[in-house]
Amino acid sequence: MNVQELTKAVPLLSPYKWYGKVTRVIGLTIESKGPQASIGDLCYIIVGKVEKVKVRAEVVGFRDEYVLLMPLNGTMEISPGSLVEATGKPLEIKVGSGLIGSVINGCGELLTNEELPKGLTSFPTDNNPPNPLLRPRINEKMSLGVRAIDALFTVGKGQRIGIFAGSGVGKSTLLSMLVKNSAADVNVIALIGERGREVKDFIERDLGEEGLRKTVLVVATSDQPALMRIKGAMTATAVAEYFRNQGLDVNLMMDSVTRFAMAQREIGLAIGEPPTSKGYTPSVFAMLPKLLERSGTDSKGSITAFYTVLVDGDDMNEPIADAVRGILDGHLVLDRKLANKGQFPAINVLKSVSRVMNEIVDDEHRAAAETLRSYLSTYVENEDLINIGAYKKGSSNEIDEAISMYPNVISFIKQTTIEVTPVEQSIQRLVEEFGRGGR
């Protein structure tokens, strides 16, 4: 801060520290008499009989004259009468280029328990989305290196895409391909509610040394309190916003939004919100757009975002999937049947869509993509007849052409994890094989 900023801040400083006392703990919620605080403020609960320790907690609500808090690190050692110290401000993290290549928790601390690098800047975790009138339109392609996405669902810089799938269909593998192959300046990955075992696997097997070199990884595992999982998503978005403010093109990947919603549901139920759709509280559906709208373009840079959504029993119409699909700029559906056939990435081309693609591709590219979809659609509609031998060659020119082109379609969509295809090369192959000149 410069001298002028410090001078302006002086009148806002309070000469007092506000304290309260814990009255009771019910489940995840801590109730205290005081201190004077606002929703979202960070507080410290002072615990320990011999050595005093400060437990971080956040104000999540009020009941009569009592303050409702939720801890970021668990409720151990908190007892009636424990002092609650107000900080008067929400959680802030330290961000900067020195953070690239690091693994941090939801509070912005290194998971290695080391000190943060020098030269980082304080940055709030809960920010408002950019003004919609100040958002530049998306008009430039983002090369992701995954042929099926680059050619059939071309993603623009600043676009927000959902990856919808059940468990074990290849979401993490697809994310790792996007991280290693994309043309973004910086990657920010949030692992929200993941198993602890999978974090090391993702870093060493999926991400690798090359991927980690230009990545900030934010981890909030499933064993951590609900509030820490919420903070993991908020912190990752804040890190991406910081780099966007520097004029960079950022890839933000969050796995998964569903577990973020589940964490918010835990908090909502604990403070007395009524459950609505499938047990989700109203605050969940208020928080989702607030989180997801923070990514995208602004006047300085862009955040191209990929959010994975777990769909129970592959039900694409469950409440969270439905809400997220309505907010984002497109979705990729990973199909278990395709994964079982060995087709990876298991993207169901006919159920996926990019709402920005038509704005950023030329007519030749668009026509070739529609032709490929047409071949695939015709084949899938008649697949049962073809497989049992009930279809006779020559009955339909359209079906005959779809059958002859089907191997080319599958060959185009399938891609190994070590294969990298730049966006222009993917488009060129699509036009050559499925454009007017290629038929």
Tell me how far the alpha carbon of residue 145 is from its chain's centroid: 19
Residue 2 located in a structural domain: no
Q: Please give the Cα distance from 402 to 376 (Å, whole number).
A: 7
Q: Which two tokens stand for residue 386?
A: 């073809």
pTM of the model: 0.91
Say whether the peptide bond before residue 35 is cis (omega within 30 degrees of 0).
yes
What is the structure's pLDDT at 5? Answer: 58
- Residue 145's alpha-carbon distances to 155, 167, 177, in angstroms, are 11, 24, 8
Same domain, yes or no, for 297 and 420? no
Q: 């020559």: which residue's tokens?
A: 394
What is the structure's pLDDT at 437? Answer: 47
Query: What is the extent of the structural domain holding 374?
Result: 364-434
What is the structure's pLDDT at 197? Answer: 86
Q: 């409702």: which residue's tokens?
A: 68
The structural domain count of the chain equals: 3
Q: Please give the Cα distance from 401 to 376 (Å, whole number).
A: 11
Three-state DSSP at 157 gives coil
Same domain, yes or no, for 260 and 294? yes
> For residues 150 and 258, is the Cβ–Cβ distance under 8 A?
no
Taking each helix axis from N to C end, the angle separating 282-292 and 319-327, rounded to the nearest 10 degrees, works out to 30
- pLDDT digits over 184-211, tens only? 999 999 999 988 888 888 888 878 888 8
Cβ neighbours of 379 (radius 10 Å): 18
Residue 8 located in a structural domain: no
Same domain, yes or no, for 356 and 241? yes
Same domain, yes or no, for 338 and 368? no
- pLDDT digits over 10-20, tens only? 555 566 778 89
Same domain, yes or no, for 162 and 222? yes
Maximal CA-CA distance, the chain:
88
CATH, residue 398: 1.20.1270.330
> For residues 265 and 279, is the Cβ–Cβ distance under 8 A?
yes
Same domain, yes or no, for 207 and 80? no
Residues of the chain with pLDDT under 70: 1-15, 313-315, 436-439
What is the structure's pLDDT at 135? Answer: 93
- Residue 142's alpha-carbon distances to 126, 150, 159, in angstroms, are 27, 8, 9
Same domain, yes or no, for 325 and 379? no
Q: Please give the Cα distance from 434 to 375 (Å, whole number).
A: 10
Q: Single out the residue in 41, 68, 90 at which a domain terminates.
A: 90
Same domain, yes or no, for 144 and 253? yes
Q: 């990929």: which residue's tokens?
A: 306
Same domain, yes or no, for 149 and 241? yes
Q: Which two tokens stand for residue 101?
A: 């290549």
Residue 439 located in a structural domain: no
Per the DSSP assignment, residues forming a β-bridge with 189 are 217, 253
Sorted by sequence, the CB contacts under 8 Å of residue 439 that are 6+ apart come out as 371
Q: Single out the residue in 310, 331, 360 at which a domain terminates.
A: 360
User: Given its phi and psi angles, is residue 165 left (phi above 0), alpha (psi -120 to 50 degrees) or beta?
Assistant: beta
Residue whose C-alpha is closest to residue 135's, from 404, 337, 329, 383: 329
First to last CA, the chain: 63
Residue whose C-alpha is closest to residue 58's, from 222, 228, 221, 223: 228
The three state secondary structure string of 50-94 is: CCCEEEEEEEEEEECCEEEEEECCCCCCCCCCCEEEECCCCCEEE
